[in-house]
Amino acid sequence: MQEQSPFKGISGWRRIVNALGYSISGLAAAYRHESAFRQEVWLALCLLITALLLPVGVLERCLMIASVLLVLIVELLNSAVEAVVDRVSFERHELAKRAKDMGSSSVLISLLLCLWVWALILLHRFAEPAWN
């Protein structure tokens, strides 16, 4: 039995090129096979354009963009967990359910964080006089 991947010995520019290719393949696979990721990509595109157009400060814009990208990152990790669980077995098992539920919960938390960041920034920027 092989203990280490044969690809671990690759270094330098070749490793970087390979890693970039794997990353692009992963994004394409997620978009092709995961409807939640597709929906979040389109939502992210709308929100990123909005963040770039809104009259907010640099730090606020960075927080808005980071919170949107965090949702995509967490969704990718959740999809990876689900793929591994499904690869192991489609049989119902408490640990498989727990892993999938935890992944789903992480996506929910990232979405709520994104909503919170956007709401605070928009309320502070556009409804500030009402808070005084």
75 is catalytic: yes
Contacts of 13 (CB under 8 A, 6+ apart): none
Burial 61-83 (b: 16+ CB within 10 A, else e): bebbbebbebbbebbbebbebbe
> CA 6, CA 26: separation in Å to the nearest integer?
20
The catalytically annotated residue of 34, 40, 60, 75 is 75
Q: Which residues are catalytic?
A: 75
